[in-house]
Chains A and B, each alone.
Chain A
Amino acid sequence: MTLLDIAIPSAPGRITWNREAIGFVVGFLLLALLPLVFGDSYSRHVLIMIFIYAVVASNWDLSLGYGGVFNFGHLALFGIGVYVYSLLAKMAGIDPWIALFASGVIATLAAVLVTIPILRLKGIYIILVTFGFAQLVMQVIISQSDLTGGTQGLVRVPGLYLFDHNMIRDGKLAYFYIALALLVASTLFLRLFVRSRAGASIVALRDNEEYAISRGVSLVRQRMVTLAASAFFTGIAGAFYAAYQRNASIDVFGMSLATIILSMVLLGGTSTIYGAIIASFVLTVFSEAMADFGAWRPMITALLIIVIMLVYPTGLVGMIRAAWTLVAERIKRRA
């Protein structure tokens, strides 16, 4: 038995480590080859946005799906990333890469802070407090308009750099690979986390809190760990978003972005991590494909979300699994 086997218990019915690792590498290698197919900067822009959404949505899946903590302030952590990066890189003149990292750290600290009031709470009350936290952050940013630009936001935020590479005239190639690297790092971290003992204990807390506590799982510590773990890459994604868009705006706290990302989490199927990533692809591409429909676009998207939630409560991953079982049974019957 290697150290890895001891540290990470395997469970029956789960995909083995080797299989998942192969799927992971193949999947992301395919993504890395996408710029060969999509040469124009518009498609690459869509892909970059997909990667950012995927990071935010899959990290949300950690607290919402695995942890069962209805954290509706997740987008505030993203927004904190956006503003911390913008303030550090623009106002304080700190190196963009250091600012990027610092945004993740500060988002994590904010997540720890918001965990304190919700330690005693359950279910719907957590939704309301975290929702309140998000509004609080937004109001503070709006009221400090000397620094943050208030409702106007900040413009001319410094972008990222890579040695002497020209980030603007490469058809967004460099930003594409930075975004992809971010998604790879975040997904690797999330999958390792949820397959670890800590991951098992937060699922135990979600499924049977009393029993988990009686078996020695600390609710306070694990809830903090869950939210902090889901915050780091969310904050970095926010910082990257600001660096890529070259501006910071109060819109990141709005309901429309939260609704889109939340539907990615639920549409993909909670407690999968991969589901959220797949759903961000599907929803974003779908939404871009319908650009001609104008006012009908949000309505069709909303209708799609409702239909999928009604027909496949386990989301896209559940849909794929159901299809796979069907195919596998056909093959078995043939043999």
Chain B
Amino acid sequence: MSVFSDIFFGGLFQGSLYAMMAVGLALVWTTIGVFNFSHGVFMMLGAYFAWQLVAFGLPVVIAFPLAVIVMAGAGWILQASVVRPLIGRPNIVLVVVITTLAAGSLIENGALTVWGPRSKQLPSLIEGNTTIAGVGVSLHQIAIIVITPLILAALWSFLNRTRLGLALRAVAQNEDASQLVGLNVTALYGLAFAIAASLAGLAGIFMGGYRFMNPSMGADPLLKALIVVVFGGISSISGPIFAAYLIGFFEAASNYYFGLYWTPALLFLVLIATLMVRPEGIFASRSRGLA
């Protein structure tokens, strides 16, 4: 019983973090059609901003939301500087891969210069530990498990219920037609990046609360988010969310049964097998134009 609940909580917790990361990646992919390889660096940057604000003496309740808002601005700036000028170029997918990789390296090394290589840690959302179903978990982890679905639900209703969210989805579906009906496509591109960056920043804050932070902390979550997004399909927001939890559980189970070393290899094997059978992802409907 304890083994099962161990895997269950571990999967739920990791899945929450992956979902938070993957949704931003999918949002940018669907709206602009590029993969943002500096997404992992956004995660790191969010955590460091939060740490800096806390170090300034701000209470956590103010510092964390403020860091998320600052991240939205950072995402918008990145989009305006290294993505928007390239829109319309024939090889945009490839060029954006390299510009976002370079921007990521710039930010990561910048963080290293500003904050130094020494590991830091953020305060937890809620202090303390508890025992549920025979497993000891920290309240911080419980908070993440509870907050993440709420935020994702809020995002879902924003995209489906508000005019702005619908406009964002319209741009994702057909850019030319959106421009024709008077939507400000460039601003919506910026918005997609801003939302993605603040979600990544939030994921960073969550992670910084239970693990030590360092400037390269975003590399592994980015990799996992990529897997999640491919696994779940990138044409929708809900696909990656389900996939994130599925992969979280898979990882937790594999860590337990096969060990830490074999888990990444197994994960990639599953990914390759999935892509061979269903290239559009397991949760995506078969749709065209997803090359």
> Nearest chain B CB to A127's CB is how many angstroms away?
7
B173 within 8 A of A: no
A33 within 8 A of B: no
B82 touches A306 (CB 8 A): yes
Q: Specify which chain B residues have a CB less than 8 angstroms from the CB of A313 in the assembled complex.
A: 86, 89, 91, 95
Other than the given A117-B275, A309-B86, 5 more pairs (CB < 8 A) read: A143-B261, A295-B112, A299-B105, A310-B99, A313-B91
A129 touches B275 (CB 8 A): yes
- Segment at the A interface, from B120-128, B156-164, B222-230: B222-230
Q: Specify which chain A residues have a CB less than 8 angstroms from the CB of B155 in the assembled complex.
A: none
B109 touches A135 (CB 8 A): no
B271 within 8 A of A: yes
B99 touches A127 (CB 8 A): no
| A-contact bits for B244-281, CB 8 A (1 contact / 0 none) | 00000000000000000110110011011001100100
CA distance A128 to B243 in the complex (A): 16
8 A-B pairs within 8 Å (CB atoms) are namely: A124-B291, A136-B268, A298-B105, A299-B109, A301-B105, A305-B99, A309-B102, A310-B85
Within 8 A of B (CB), among A31-79: 64, 70
Interface size range of chain B in the complex:
35 or more
CA distance A299 to B110 in the complex (A): 7
A302 and B102 in contact, given A124-B35, A129-B275 (Cβ under 8 angstroms)? yes
CA distance A263 to B226 in the complex (A): 21
CA distance A49 to B198 in the complex (A): 40
A152 within 8 A of B: no
A123 touches B93 (CB 8 A): yes
B219 within 8 A of A: yes
CA distance A305 to B276 in the complex (A): 34
B151 within 8 A of A: no
A270 touches B91 (CB 8 A): yes
Interface of A is mostly: helix
B268 touches A132 (CB 8 A): yes
| B-contact bits for A254-265, CB 8 A (1 contact / 0 none) | 011001001100
A139 touches B230 (CB 8 A): no
A123 touches B291 (CB 8 A): yes
A131 within 8 A of B: yes
Within 8 A of A (CB), among B197-250: 219, 223, 226-227, 230, 234
| B-contact bits for A88-124, CB 8 A (1 contact / 0 none) | 0000000000000000000000000000010011111
Q: Specify which chain A residues have a CB less than 8 angstroms from the CB of B262 in the assembled complex.
A: 139, 143
Interface residues of chain A, those whose CB is within 8 Å of chain B, are 64, 70, 117, 120-125, 127-129, 131-133, 135-136, 139-140, 142-143, 255-256, 259, 262-263, 266, 270, 295-296, 298-299, 301-303, 305-306, 309-310, 313
Q: Specify which chain A residues have a CB less than 8 angstroms from the CB of B261 in the assembled complex.
A: 139, 142-143
CA distance A256 to B276 in the complex (A): 29
Q: Specify which chain B residues have a CB less than 8 angstroms from the CB of A309 in the assembled complex.
A: 86, 95, 98-99, 102
B152 within 8 A of A: no
Q: Specify which chain A residues have a CB less than 8 angstroms from the CB of B112 in the assembled complex.
A: 295
CA distance A139 to B262 in the complex (A): 7
Chain B residue, CB-CB nearest to A150: B261
A303 touches B94 (CB 8 A): no
> Nearest chain B CB to A289's CB is how many angstroms away?
18
CA distance A120 to B280 in the complex (A): 11
B167 within 8 A of A: no
A302 touches B103 (CB 8 A): yes
Q: Specify which chain A residues have a CB less than 8 angstroms from the CB of B230 in the assembled complex.
A: 125, 128
CA distance A117 to B275 in the complex (A): 8
B105 touches A132 (CB 8 A): no
CA distance A135 to B91 in the complex (A): 25
B101 touches A259 (CB 8 A): yes
Within 8 A of A (CB), among B75-125: 81-82, 85-86, 89, 91, 93-95, 97-99, 101-103, 105-106, 109-110, 112-113
